[in-house]
Amino acid sequence: MTASPTPRHIAITGASSGLGAALALEYARPGIRLSLHGRDTDRTEAVAAAARSRGAEVDVARFDVTDADAVAAWVTAIGAGAPLDLMIANAGISGNETGSGGAVSAEVTRAIFAVNVDGVVNTVLPAAELMLGRGRGAIAIVASLAGYRGQPGAPAYAASKAAVKAWGEGLRPRLAHGGLRVSVVCPGFVRTPMTARNRFPMPFLMDADRAARIIRRGLDRNRARIAFPWQLAALCWLLAALPAAWADRLLGGLPGK
């Protein structure tokens, strides 16, 4: 496995809180430029201020990742300011997917797919095009261990993460021909505002700053898949390998998000 050069310009979507914010602070130091996107301007500016206090140069943008033109314009603008070395497609949402009477909420389902799938595609494609023009660069796609197998408590969320996981795995060898490195990040439960809403046990729950260190270490080593913690990753792999009827029985009683 070839080690990756140290990125000097890192762009992160969904950097206003949680894992995105932790990644911004993990990379922040003198000589580093951070281009941060967040839906909440005040919170993103707070992350930017903390990163600047560590010596990084930071710019902040607010836009909807489901707007392909807006994302492409952002990528073009930040790339013109300084060569883009690493794009972390991190923006994502979850929600209560159950409608009245136990039915599936069409509104929440479509919103999750729009942000978690379309938003990632909208982010990665212009970044890849920009990097291919230089013949180098790295892309990190934040999926989830939930994407290893369909989850009855959150079918849209799991499916959206499965989609970007598989897409990233397919892009890695394809874009490698152009000098790009693609890594798929599959975290387990990370302490963030998103998981704070969960009302069920979250095994191996870890702090966001620790998760950010694991991700950075994996990206530095150019790992194809950064799945952690290993105990939960192994369990999710096993669930995916079990006969469907067995897995359904094990997962059927779990509460939804």
- DSSP per residue, 128-151: HHHHHHHT-EEEEEE--GGGGS--
Q: How high is the mean pLDDT of the chain?
A: 92
Q: Which residues of 97-126 are buried (b: 16+ CB within 10 A; e: fewer)?
A: bbeeeeeebeebbebbbbbbbbbbbbbbeb
Helices (H), the chain: 18-27, 41-53, 68-81, 106-113, 119-134, 155-176, 193-196, 208-220, 230-241, 244-251
Whether the pLDDT of residue 1 is over 60: the answer is no
Contact 14, 92 (CB under 8 A): yes
Q: Which residues pair with 227 in a beta bridge?
A: 186
> Any catalytic annotation for residue 157?
yes
Which residues on adjacent β-strands are paired with residue 226? 185
Supply the pLDDT for residue 101: 66
> Residue 204 carries which side chain, given as an amino acid letter?
F
Instruction: State the Cα–Cα distance between residues 71 and 78, nearest whole angstrom.
Output: 11
Given a contact cutoff of 8 angstroms between Cβ atoms, the answer to whether 155 and 113 are in contact is: no
Per the model's pLDDT, the better-predicted residue between 30 and 252 turns out to be: 30
Give the pLDDT band (50/70/90) at residue 25. very high
Determine the Cα–Cα distance for residues 139 and 184; give it in Å rounded to an integer: 9
The tokens for 107 are 């509104």
Which tens digits make up the pLDDT trace of 196-246?
676 667 777 899 999 999 999 999 999 999 999 999 999 989 888 888 887
CA–CA distances in Å: residue 83 to residues 33, 161, 170: 10, 29, 25
- 3-state class (DSSP) for residue 24: helix
Q: How confident is the model at residue 212, as a pLDDT?
A: 98
Least confident of 79-88, 188-197, 246-255: 246-255
DSSP secondary structure code for residue 203 in this structure: T
Q: Which of 157, 167, 189, 228 is catalytic?
A: 157
Higher pLDDT, residue 2 or 162: 162
Choice among 12-16, 45-49, 68-72, 202-206 with the minimum mean pLDDT: 202-206
pLDDT, average across residues 40-52: 97
**Cα within 13 Å of Cα(222), Cβ side:** 16
Confidence class of residue 190 from pLDDT cuts 50, 70 and 90? confident
The answer on pLDDT for 41 being more than 70 is yes
For residue 226 the two structure tokens come to 């950064």
Angle (CA) 185 6 82, round 5°: 100
pLDDT band at 4, cuts 50/70/90? confident
Q: Which percentage of the chain shows pLDDT scores above 90? A: 76
Rounded to whole angstroms, the Cα distance separating 181 from 158 reads: 25
Render pLDDT for 55-65 as a digit per residue (tens, 0 to 9).
999 999 999 99
Kindly list the distances between the CA atom of residue 31 and the CA atoms of 8, 13, 51, 83, 120, in Å, as whole numbers in the listed order.
7, 20, 12, 13, 27
- In three-state secondary structure terms, 63 is coil
For residue 67, what pLDDT band results from cuts at 50, 70 and 90?
Answer: very high
Q: Say what the pTM is.
A: 0.92
